[in-house]
């Protein structure tokens, strides 16, 4: 019997993985971080499919497909740089762990002195500052969060009134660590469903409604927090955009590290989306297109699968855009084998040419060329941020149009 004809509840582990793979659409680069994310996603998606007893679950990875350094999310079977959708039946999967992360882009009349900025941030770090009764803990130096200043490299005529060349700009990238536990704690409230790929927490009924209400309040607070901190530090500034790229965008859609090019908080096609690669590379500002087009779907060889699954119209409104370049893993392994265990997936990395003598070690490649490596999560692997390939893929797949390019002047991680 073909897998497509088999009841989901009767599928073996391997059959469920194959069923899930058929529902993963991949626009990412061909590197180790992207490959690990794809492999891991089969498990998270497969568990969702099994718990819902529905094949109407799918995911789309953007050009920045990569690992997540959130250990809980990774161990639950989810990657990053991805849109995940499932039937709109009032069910949520809190292990995906949306954290309300986003970026606020602001315009400044003049560039503040670095001493003044450092002093002001230090004051905030030491003082008790509250927003809506919640004590804030600024986190400009945590993980990939940052506070960065720019000048214009170029800007298109259509947005010169918003991004003139004679002004300066700043971005705060962050979420709301003060309230994150309110969302993450709902994992233990869910019903734990056993699947051939491991268990998954499922919220439904009143618990799901409570979770979604909490999320809406949480995201609103995270956006307000970014604006509050921008004004506290910079004083008078013009907010150009304040967009979430990690969260619940619809009752049946979560985005992890992806903008929605038709974000409902702005008129269609008018939002300004920053794509920040690394502190030593320009930030690109885009206006979004509806995507994916039929032409791109065909070019990616998705036609047969999207028509078989009946999701062509949905993929034509996936409206995906990276918020950055994603992590790259600084290892040369090319093969991935997975062993699913009680403690999660074990990833066996191999394929790097082994050396027989220490003097054969390549100075550039390093000692990682020895043997295999086995990991359960990529958090401790050596990593960097991608700087090439992402913007080209955005253009190639017609996800958005570039309207400005900004040069970093100062990056704050304190």
| Residue 307 shares a structural domain with residue 210 | yes
Q: How many domains does the chain have?
A: 2
**pLDDT of 180-207, one tens digit each?**
999 999 999 999 999 999 999 999 999 9
Q: How many CB atoms are located within 10 Å of the residue 128 CB?
A: 7
| Residue 365 shares a structural domain with residue 275 | no
Classify residue 65: in a domain, yes or no.
yes
Where does the pLDDT of residue 414 fall: very low under 50, low under 70, confident under 90, or very high at 90 and above?
confident
| Residue 261 shares a structural domain with residue 340 | no
| Residue 185 shares a structural domain with residue 295 | yes
Evaluate if residue 96 carries a pLDDT over 60: yes
Classify residue 121: in a domain, yes or no.
no
| Residue 374 shares a structural domain with residue 232 | no
Contact 287, 121 (CB under 8 A): no
Q: Rounded to a whole number, what is the distance in angstroms from the first to the last CA of the chain?
A: 58
% of the chain surpassing 70 pLDDT: 94
Contact 247, 221 (CB under 8 A): no
| Residue 248 shares a structural domain with residue 340 | no
Number of helices followed by number of strands (H, E) in the chain: 10, 23
DSSP class of 359:
G
Print burial letters for 219-253: b (CB count within 10 Å at least 16), e (below 16): bebbbebbbbbbebbbeebeebbbbbbbbbbeebb
| Residue 364 shares a structural domain with residue 293 | no
Evaluate if residue 357 carries a pLDDT over 50: no
pLDDT at 370: 56
pTM of this prediction exceeds 0.75: yes
Averaged pLDDT of the chain? 93
| Residue 284 shares a structural domain with residue 375 | no
| Residue 359 shares a structural domain with residue 307 | no
Where does the pLDDT of residue 1 fall: very low under 50, low under 70, confident under 90, or very high at 90 and above?
very low
Evaluate if residue 409 carries a pLDDT over 70: yes
Where does the pLDDT of residue 353 fall: very low under 50, low under 70, confident under 90, or very high at 90 and above?
low
The alpha carbon of 3 is separated from its chain's Cα centroid by a whole number of angstroms, namely: 31
Classify residue 60: in a domain, yes or no.
yes
| Residue 270 shares a structural domain with residue 207 | yes
Contact 82, 251 (CB under 8 A): no
Residue range of the domain that includes 357: 335-379
pLDDT at 106: 99
**pLDDT of 128-157, one tens digit each?**
999 999 999 887 777 678 899 999 999 999
| Residue 230 shares a structural domain with residue 368 | no
| Residue 258 shares a structural domain with residue 388 | yes
Across the range 248-266, mean pLDDT stands at: 98
């Amino acid at each position: 019997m073909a897998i497509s004809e088999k009841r989901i509840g009767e599928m073996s582990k391997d059959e469920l993985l194959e069923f899930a793979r058929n529902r993963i659409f991949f626009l990412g680069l061909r590197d180790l971080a992207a490959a690990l994310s794809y492999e891991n996603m089969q498990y998270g998606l497969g568990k969702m499919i099994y718990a819902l007893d529905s094949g109407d679950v799918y995911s789309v990875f953007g050009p920045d497909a990569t690992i997540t350094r959130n250990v809980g999310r990774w161990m639950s079977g989810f990657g990053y740089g991805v849109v995940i959708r499932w039937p709109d039946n009032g069910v949520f999967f809190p292990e995906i762990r949306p954290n309300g992360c986003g970026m606020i882009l602001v315009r400044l009349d003049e560039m503040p002195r670095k001493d003044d900025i450092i002093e002001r941030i230090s004051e905030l770090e030491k003082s008790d500052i509250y927003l809506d009764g919640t004590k804030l803990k600024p986190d400009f130096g945590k993980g990939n969060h940052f506070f960065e200043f720019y000048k214009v490299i170029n800007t298109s005529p259509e947005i010169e009134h918003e991004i003139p060349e004679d002004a300066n700009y700043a971005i705060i990238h962050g979420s709301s660590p003060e309230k994150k536990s309110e969302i993450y704690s709902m994992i233990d409230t869910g019903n734990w469903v056993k699947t051939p790929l491991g268990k998954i927490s499922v919220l439904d009924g009143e618990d799901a409604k409570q979770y979604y209400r909490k999320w809406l309040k949480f995201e609103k607070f995270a956006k307000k927090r970014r604006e509050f901190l921008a004004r506290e530090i910079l004083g008078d500034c013009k907010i150009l955009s304040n967009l979430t790229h990690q969260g619940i965008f619809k009752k049946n859609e979560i985005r992890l590290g992806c903008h929605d090019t038709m974000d409902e908080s702005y008129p269609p096609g008018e939002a300004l989306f920053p794509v920040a690669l690394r502190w030593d590379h320009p930030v690109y500002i885009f206006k979004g297109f509806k995507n994916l087009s039929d032409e791109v779907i065909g070019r990616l060889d998705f036609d047969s699968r999207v028509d078989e699954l009946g999701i062509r119209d949905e993929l034509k409104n996936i409206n995906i855009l990276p918020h950055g370049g994603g992590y790259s893993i600084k290892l040369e392994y090319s093969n991935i084998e997975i062993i699913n265990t009680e403690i999660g997936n074990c990833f066996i990395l191999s394929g790097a040419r082994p050396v027989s003598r220490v003097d054969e070690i390549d100075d550039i490649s390093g000692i990682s060329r020895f043997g295999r490596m086995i990991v359960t999560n990529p958090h401790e692997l050596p990593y960097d941020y991608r700087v090439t390939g992402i913007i080209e893929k955005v253009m190639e797949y017609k996800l958005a149009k570039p309207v400005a390019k900004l040069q970093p002047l100062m990056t704050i991680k304190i």
